[in-house]
Amino acid sequence: MTILADPMDRALELACEAAAAGEVPVGAVIVDPETGEIVAEGANAPISGHDPTAHAEIVALRRAAEKLGNYRLTGLTMYVTLEPCAMCAGAISLARIGKLVFGACDPKGGAVIHGARFFEQPTCHWRPDVEQDEARGEAASQLLKAFFKARRK
């Protein structure tokens, strides 16, 4: 059993690992808030996995569902370094995640507080509590900016 004082720190470590592998630096951790146990984690892997759906959130959701033997992850908390896109927000809703904590905002591709605002749509059947970790969001934002700046050279 792995328990961390701040799961967002682990999500940031996973984002750094993704960047080192040439993937967009995003990390996600799913935690049982009652015990503090990390249930599953994931890092972006669409390039290495040849899978356009292998976003950090999806990877973590798949691992958590497999570990628990249930696709419904009710009551768990997901920590992710970047505001989820529409695909990931949809998967978070379908998994019935209880709370979503994200770091950096994504005005271009995010779908939680930007863009589609997925959880506010009347067709969304499950809405997690949502919180932004602004303190860690700045670190996640800087990691993303450095990653893309290096790619533009």
- CATH number, residue 107: 3.40.140.10
Residue 110 lies in a domain: yes
Active site residues: 57
Task: Give the separation between CA 99 and CA 128, rounded to whole angstroms.
Answer: 5
Alpha-carbon distance 52 to 143, whole Å? 21
Residue 1 lies in a domain: no
Q: How many domains in the chain?
A: 1
Does residue 16 have a known ligand-binding role?
Answer: no
Q: Would you say 88 is a known binding-site residue?
A: yes
Residue (of 130, 131, 141) closest to 104 by Cα position: 141
pTM of whole model > 0.85? yes
> Please, are residues 133 and 14 in contact by the beta-carbon 8 Å criterion?
no
pLDDT in tens, 70-112: 999 999 999 999 999 999 999 999 999 999 999 999 999 999 9
